[in-house]
Structure 1
Amino acid sequence: MMHHDTFDSLTRNAFDFLERGIAEFDKMPKYSVIHFCAAVEMLLKARLMKEHWSLIVSKPDQANLAKFMAGDFISVTLEDCSARIRDVAGEDIGDDAYNSFRTLAKHRNKMVHFFHPEMDSVSKAKAQIVAEHCRSWFHLHRLLSRWGNYFREFDKEIAHADRAMKAHRKYLRAKFRALKTELDTACKAGNAPRACSACGFKAAIPDDLDEQIASLRCMVCDHTETQVEIECPHCGKPVVIANEGYATCEHCDGAIKPEHLVDALTKDVVGTKDYSETGLPANCEACEGYHTVVERGDHYFCTSCFEISDHVETCGWCNELNTGNMEHSYSTGCSNCDGKVGWEKDD
């Protein structure tokens, strides 16, 4: 009961800070940054708390329940929080999300430690803040959706925050209008801008890897993402999936997973047997995905974390294909094995 109550309290506090961070932006942008960043960090800590309350303490081995309940403890940093979610919960939040949260945290630290009188009047500064909020909310919203089993009781708060963020984007309209000439030029050059998943403006310039995969960078909010276009494995309608291989079809609400992307991106390969005999799909060193890497022309694409690699190498111990450097894999192994050292240790 204590575990549920503390998780519930922390999460409700996080959404209260998030609501304040969005609502205060127009008149108090400095406090908007501080509260918005605090909300992001608290929600990540709430996910850690689902594993164990001591994980949100800076030094878990020294955690004291009585002090924790009294609020007498040093909280985990953003960096350590991300690492523990990966190493303990087994769920990597991803480099793009982490970098977005870190940028927001750095801006928050400047707001806390230095006085910025111009923050209340300069529209350019406000646009920067909104862009940071949009990028961070994009990643946070995806994580909350992925962690639906833990945050199901807060669906209403998540939906409310999402609606509020859409209204929040009005502060970027001036920048979008100012970019009209550049966007028109990109369109004429054959790089028609697409809708940005973070800010919603049709200002994301694609750099196509092939006819189904493209990397995009938004000229309005600087959000970057990789998009894959496939037919939904459940309803057959076209869907665009961004940044990771876990998604929900907007047409039928069917769950889409990396294995579905593997099937979709290899269906035109001549003979499934011929493809498997090459050792593909390969494993991904970046996210430790098993058989998530497919070949696309001269590149290799991970259907789990959307990492794009130039080559794959064979593990010296298990002979599995992997992205990354396999030079010492005979001894240390790869994402699929522990190598000779691990085998001898187990033996």
Structure 2
Amino acid sequence: MRFTELEKDIDIKCKRGEVILACNACGFAAAIVEKTNEWGDNYHCLICDDRGISIKPTDATIECPECSSLVQFFNKSPVICTACNYPLTTEDVIAKCADEYSNGDDYCCDERDEWIAECHQCRSTIPSVFFIDGLWSCVVCHDRGWRAVICPHCDEFVTGDPEAIEYCACFKCEDVFRNKMKRIFDSVD
């Protein structure tokens, strides 16, 4: 097995102070951290060669809709209350997060009551991205760290690369943008 072959090399890297994580793809503790960001660690796995991101965890909690006990909900699937064993649905988690985490960040300064973004990664049909522990965090796909902005083209509040959204489109209006560009290029021919 590959892990057994590389175990001594991994131990040496640990002793040198390199940070080793469990790989998201293969599960082995063989992912060498290459760069640390505010949203998590970029890594390279020595076993399966995956280059991924270990998302920064959060201990944020919401109230259980059944017994009102505090429940850790992020990056846990399924989310089950440890006090009463109530299984929280995605809709439960979104509703409770809307009560607790919908204030947004410093960007969120207009008169909206709630700042809940739509996720460009999982494209959930329900807005599912909240500002939790200093990072925009999707409670459906558990992605964190992207910016959330109002798209200047369609006025949707979405996550993604702010510059790409500003100059091109967000995931909600990218098809319209693509078709518009296609018509422009077709007219040049």
The residue number in structure 1 matching 2:182 is none
Matched, 1:220 2:53: no
Give the CA deviation at 1:283: 1.4
Greater helix percent: which structure?
A: 1
Q: What CA deviation, in whole Å up to 9, does each residue of 1:224-262 have, x standing for no partner?
A: 244444458657565772xxxx72258759356386378
Q: What CA deviation, in whole Å up to 9, does each residue of 1:176-209 have, x standing for no partner?
A: 322212123345xxx4x33334434333356665
TM-score, structure 2 length as denominator?
0.50
Q: How many residues align?
A: 152
CA RMSD of aligned residues (A): 4.7
Distance in 2 (alpha carbons) for counterparts of 1:204 and 1:266: 37
**Structure 1, gaps ≥5 residues long:** 1-169, 340-347
Q: What CA deviation, in whole Å up to 9, does each residue of 1:2-47 have, x standing for no partner?
A: xxxxxxxxxxxxxxxxxxxxxxxxxxxxxxxxxxxxxxxxxxxxxx
Distance in 2 (alpha carbons) for counterparts of 1:333 and 1:296: 22
Distance in 2 (alpha carbons) for counterparts of 1:256 and 1:233: 13
Matched, 1:195 2:27: no
Distance in 1 (alpha carbons) for counterparts of 2:95 and 2:42: 21
Matched, 1:285 2:139: no
SS at match of 2:16: helix
Matched, 1:309 2:136: no
Q: Is the 8 A contact 2:117 2:157 kept in 1?
A: yes
Q: Is the 8 A contact 1:208 1:215 kept in 2?
A: yes
Q: Is the 8 A contact 1:315 1:322 kept in 2?
A: no
Give the CA deviation at 1:286: 3.6
Matched, 1:320 2:156: yes
Distance in 1 (alpha carbons) for counterparts of 2:97 and 2:79: 14
Query: Which residue among 114, 123, 131 is the counterpart of 1:295?
Result: 131
The residue type equivalent to 2:4 in the other structure is R
The structure-2 alpha-carbon separation of the partners of 1:297 and 1:229, relative to structure 1 and needing over 3 Å to count, comes to closer
The percentage of aligned residue pairs carrying the same residue is 15
The structure-2 alpha-carbon separation of the partners of 1:293 and 1:316, relative to structure 1 and needing over 3 Å to count, comes to same
Q: Is the 8 A contact 1:313 1:321 kept in 2?
A: yes
After TM superposition, list the pairs within 5 Å mapping 1:144-159 onto structure 2: none
After TM superposition, list the pairs within 5 Å mapping 1:100-249 onto structure 2: 170-186=1-17, 191=19, 193-205=20-32, 214-215=40-41, 217=43, 218-223=45-50, 224-227=52-55, 228-230=57-59, 236=70, 241=75, 247-249=77-79
The residue number in structure 2 matching 1:257 is 90
**Which structure has the bigger radius of gyration?**
1
Q: Is the 8 A contact 2:137 2:144 kept in 1?
A: yes
Structure with higher RCO (Cα < 8 A, 6+ apart):
2
Distance in 2 (alpha carbons) for counterparts of 1:216 and 1:258: 30
Matched, 1:334 2:172: yes
The structure-2 alpha-carbon separation of the partners of 1:249 and 1:302, relative to structure 1 and needing over 3 Å to count, comes to closer
The residue type equivalent to 1:313 in the other structure is I
The structure-2 alpha-carbon separation of the partners of 1:311 and 1:200, relative to structure 1 and needing over 3 Å to count, comes to closer
The residue number in structure 1 matching 2:187 is none
Q: Is the 8 A contact 1:281 1:292 kept in 2?
A: yes
The residue type equivalent to 2:40 in the other structure is A
Distance in 2 (alpha carbons) for counterparts of 1:195 and 1:175: 14
Q: What CA deviation, in whole Å up to 9, does each residue of 1:83-122 have, x standing for no partner?
A: xxxxxxxxxxxxxxxxxxxxxxxxxxxxxxxxxxxxxxxx
The residue type equivalent to 1:293 in the other structure is V
The structure-2 alpha-carbon separation of the partners of 1:209 and 1:261, relative to structure 1 and needing over 3 Å to count, comes to farther
**Structure 2, gaps ≥5 residues long:** 178-189
